[in-house]
Structure 1
Amino acid sequence: MLPENQTKNLIAHYQKALLIKPDNPTAFYQIGKQYQYLAAFNHAFNYYLKAIQSNPHSNSCYHDLKIVIFFSNIFNQLIDPEYLQLGSDLLKQTIKNQPQYLFAKYLLGNLLSQQEKVKEAIACYQAFSYQQILASHPKLAQQHCNPQILRKPDFIICGLPKCGTTSIYGYLTSHPHVLTAVEKEINFFSHFFDRGLDYYYTHFLATANNNYLTGEATPSYFFWANPQQIFQLFPNIKLIFLFRNPVDRAISSFYLLHRLGIGQNSLDKTFNLSIQTLEKRPDFDWLSVQKQKFSTDSLLEEISLMHTIPSVYIFFIKKWMNVFPKEHLLILKSEDFYSNPSATMKQVHRFLNLPDYQLTEYRNYNPGSYSLMSDKLRQQLVEFFYPYNQQLEEYLGRKFNWE
């Protein structure tokens, strides 16, 4: 990972390239990437828009724009209204010129939502959802689609990040009786509840045929959502959780943000800082950091906690089990899922009262690779998580045997 001064030097380098060729989409894009690394999301957003203006066919620009919008919400860095309007105008032009590029319509919905134009955003999501289901279930979409019906989710995969949620959602929505949501991670109960229930329901295709289940998978709900809020709306919903060795989950989370181009401290500094911080702030209440604005130093601290806090499973699972009946929760061990996805999916299908449906291949939907950590750091993390793992095993009455 690049130090901050080296990142700023790269920005200056690409700025010079723009003096030679002012409409260079690669230079715009690379400047955006560097600002994204610095967690300067407003600047990153601006330069990605400039890259799209120069080259409307660059898929990577659109996908990085989505990442920037997501993290700007998490860390409360508001995108300039002028940039949002320009982005909406650009995406409308992209949709007009590339009608088959459905991701642009979905992304336009995100930008309109940021502008609090929720009704317009809903129309985008409905159009995107219809095209999605038309591709997977053409007869259902053509004969039973009814946007006037409000569709509620039947299940939510609530956690956890880097535990296999993307793969399990991919396998589950491959079932012929399960419909995918507009997107896997809606983040409604963690960040967008103020957009209203109509906004949430429009993420699920409304049909007059009730023989299909639908749901979402926002793994950060485990530590960010309010279980009572979900229960009041959906008292009969089924919830699925995946727990992975907390050390492996934390390390994988660190490298995920690295791949997404979000700046962090070094691996050792990140986890030493998070352990020291949590020893001083042992309540693990991640909800308390929401709606804050962060300086560069405090942002790096909060990013480090993002990897460690969710792995303290016992603190959060109690909140869910104090609200929902035990039979509405399915807790899976990620290592079992990885080693035998077919058997795990049988459990999931049985839990959701679905006929079993086996795939010919269980591919990894979200693979990640990373360097080995030092034995010293791993041992530090093992010792930190050990008492919480013991509490989890005692509370749930099952062994996870993590080392």
Structure 2
Amino acid sequence: MSKLTPDYICIGAARCATTWVWSLFSKYSEVSLIWPKEIHFFNDNFDRGMKWYSSHFKDPNRFIRVEVDGVYFADAAAASSNMKKTCPNVNVFAILRNPFERAIDHLVFNYYRDAQTTDISIENLRSLATKHKDDKYLKGSCYGSLLLEYKKSLSAEQVALFNFEDLQNSPREFAENLLRYVGAGSEYEITDDMLTPSNSARPIRYKFLYKLLRQVKLFSDKNAYCAALISFFTKKIGASLIDKLLGPQDKKDEYPFSINEAFVELFGSDAVQLIENEMEILEREFDFPVPENWKSLTS
């Protein structure tokens, strides 16, 4: 197989609808997607080479080649540098949400998957927040600094930003804008099933079975034949099974604490100023209209 490069890469951010983006693009015959969703080539697996990377494009002869990998956002320095080396003309795009809310949702999402209880408290989340020395939950919301890495390695013109709240408020219009951005979907109807949220923060009913399926999925990422079998399974009965594994979808207003309270308790008041500085970078360097309700925990 010839060495293929992506035309567009969705780089994140984590907990900002990247699974939904991948699902949306998977339904269009014009788009060739990297499969599975996150192979972490441009940060963790770059030494495997472009031939390995190219082998992951599903239907490589399609008109538009797209990758979706939310890890590239937090690991921006390595990922953007490697993109510059191999695909300097690539266009990258990110979906951004309220950065305070994103950090807490990221914590809750991982807590549900690792904890032995579905009870959420600030104290329970604190143990998970301090587990990672690189402050990955806070770092993932440092939008300005991370995006500057892409501007430095590529260019500002190659970086497009979308607002997560636009997806929440008008998913059909958001999907149309995203498809228009990559040059796909002009002759296809956007159906209601394409607009369903994916991968939301939800408790796990059967943790043992869930973890077993996670291990199978990790194995399938490295084995093409197993990956094909998993793909067939997912299309046939996977969605209904996963729905049974998961509990009811949680909403932020059902948490026993406010986002504001949790963020300050878990990350400290200095982190509030840090995130506000990051949003100033967004406005100054990328002309991104930061919503007023993002700008301060007290707004």
Per the normalisation by structure 2, the TM-score is 0.67
- C-alpha displacement at 1:329, in angstroms? 1.8
Choose from 85, 94, 104 the match for 1:251.
104
**CA deviation vs aligned residue, 1:228-253 (integer Å, no higher than 9, x gap):** 21022112212111111111110111
1:376 aligns with 2:261: yes
Q: Secondary structure at the match of 1:228?
A: helix
Matched residue, 1:238:
91
Q: Secondary structure at the match of 1:239?
A: strand
Matched residue, 2:56:
203
Bigger radius of gyration among the two? 1
Matched residue, 2:71:
220
Instruction: Specify whether residues 154 and 364 from structure 1 end up closer, same or farther in structure 2 by C-alpha distance, changes over 3 A only.
Output: same
Query: How far apart in 2 are the matches of 1:344 and 1:398?
Result: 16
- C-alpha displacement at 1:331, in angstroms? 0.7
Matched residue, 2:287:
397
Letter of the aligned partner of 2:284 in structure 1?
A: E
Matched residue, 1:67:
none
Choose from 318, 324, 334 the match for 2:154.
324
Letter of the aligned partner of 1:184 in structure 2?
A: K
Q: Looking at both structures, which has the greater relative contact order when contacts are Cα pairs under 8 Å and sequence separation is at least 6? A: 2
Matched residue, 2:19:
166
Choose from 114, 118, 137 the match for 1:261.
114
- C-alpha displacement at 1:271, in angstroms? 5.9
Query: How far apart in 2 are the matches of 1:255 and 1:183?
Result: 24
Instruction: Specify whether residues 383 and 372 from structure 1 end up closer, same or farther in structure 2 by C-alpha distance, changes over 3 A only.
Output: farther
Choose from 286, 289, 300 the match for 2:131.
300
Would the aligned equivalents of 1:342 and 1:358 in 2 still touch at CA under 8 Å?
no
- C-alpha displacement at 1:327, in angstroms? 2.9
- C-alpha displacement at 1:378, in angstroms? 4.1
Instruction: Specify whether residues 179 and 262 from structure 1 end up closer, same or farther in structure 2 by C-alpha distance, changes over 3 A only.
Output: farther
- C-alpha displacement at 1:256, in angstroms? 1.6
Would the aligned equivalents of 1:268 and 1:377 in 2 still touch at CA under 8 Å?
no
- C-alpha displacement at 1:255, in angstroms? 1.3
- C-alpha displacement at 1:315, in angstroms? 0.9
Alignment of 1:17-56 (within 5 A): none
Per the normalisation by structure 1, the TM-score is 0.51
- C-alpha displacement at 1:257, in angstroms? 1.2
> Which runs of 5 or more residues in structure 1 are unaligned?
1-147, 275-298
**CA deviation vs aligned residue, 1:321-366 (integer Å, no higher than 9, x gap):** 1222333221111111222222222222222222434421111121
Would the aligned equivalents of 1:162 and 1:249 in 2 still touch at CA under 8 Å?
yes
Instruction: Specify whether residues 273 and 214 from structure 1 end up closer, same or farther in structure 2 by C-alpha distance, changes over 3 A only.
Output: closer
> Which runs of 5 or more residues in structure 2 are unaligned?
202-249
Would the aligned equivalents of 2:107 and 2:128 in 1 still touch at CA under 8 Å?
no
**CA deviation vs aligned residue, 1:244-270 (integer Å, no higher than 9, x gap):** 11111101110121122169x963586
Query: How far apart in 1 are the matches of 2:263 and 2:68?
Result: 29
Query: How far apart in 2 are the matches of 1:336 and 1:246?
Result: 15
Matched residue, 2:191:
360
Instruction: Specify whether residues 267 and 214 from structure 1 end up closer, same or farther in structure 2 by C-alpha distance, changes over 3 A only.
Output: farther
Query: How far apart in 2 are the matches of 1:149 and 1:388?
Result: 40
Instruction: Specify whether residues 162 and 302 from structure 1 end up closer, same or farther in structure 2 by C-alpha distance, changes over 3 A only.
Output: same
Would the aligned equivalents of 2:7 and 2:65 in 1 still touch at CA under 8 Å?
yes
Query: How far apart in 1 are the matches of 2:5 and 2:281?
Result: 35
Would the aligned equivalents of 1:165 and 1:219 in 2 still touch at CA under 8 Å?
yes
Query: How far apart in 2 are the matches of 1:162 and 1:332?
Result: 14
Query: How far apart in 2 are the matches of 1:350 and 1:243?
Result: 19
Matched residue, 2:145:
315
Letter of the aligned partner of 2:257 in structure 1?
A: M
Letter of the aligned partner of 2:142 in structure 1?
A: V
Would the aligned equivalents of 1:158 and 1:218 in 2 still touch at CA under 8 Å?
yes
Q: Secondary structure at the match of 1:317?
A: helix
Instruction: Specify whether residues 196 and 150 from structure 1 end up closer, same or farther in structure 2 by C-alpha distance, changes over 3 A only.
Output: closer
Q: CA RMSD in A?
A: 2.9
**CA deviation vs aligned residue, 1:164-199 (integer Å, no higher than 9, x gap):** 111122112212211332201111122112222222
Query: How far apart in 2 are the matches of 1:387 and 1:269?
Result: 28
Q: Indicate the percent of aligned positions where both proteins have the same amino acid.
A: 22
Aligned pair count reads 229
**CA deviation vs aligned residue, 1:281-328 (integer Å, no higher than 9, x gap):** xxxxxxxxxxxxxxxxxx71427x111111011111111112223332
